[in-house]
Amino acid sequence: MKDDVPVDNKSVVIIVRPFGDNRFACGLDSNYVEDTEEKKMCYTVAMGLCQIALDDPDMVYEIGMSVREINRKKKELGANGKAEIISIQDWRKKLN
């Protein structure tokens, strides 16, 4: 996900916040106006995402952890200029 996506009146904002010990609340910004078919579709998708998070939080958490790891590796790649990935050809050369 890009960090530079603007939040404006065309955006549905999903709010996730801590709610006690090891719990969270998930909801939608109530200021969103569904005045076009496209915005209605976006709001419907956002409602579905919230419901998935509430119905199956373990799955959503695991996916989030996977995305976090992918993003960490992408940052590492950008910072070092290369990731700790070896090509199969280089690996075979080391075996000989």
Question: How is the chain split into domains, by residue range?
Answer: 14-95
The pLDDT value given to residue 95: 73
Count H helices and E strands in the chain, helices first.
3, 2
pLDDT digits (tens, 9 = 90+) for 67-76: 999 888 888 7
pLDDT digits (tens, 9 = 90+) for 39-60: 999 999 999 999 999 999 999 9
d(CA 51, CA 3): 24
The pLDDT value given to residue 34: 94
pLDDT of residue 83 exceeding 60, the answer is no
For 78-85, the CB contacts below 8 A with 24+ separation are none
Which residues face 26 on adjacent strands?
Answer: 16
pLDDT digits (tens, 9 = 90+) for 4-32: 677 888 899 999 999 999 899 999 988 99
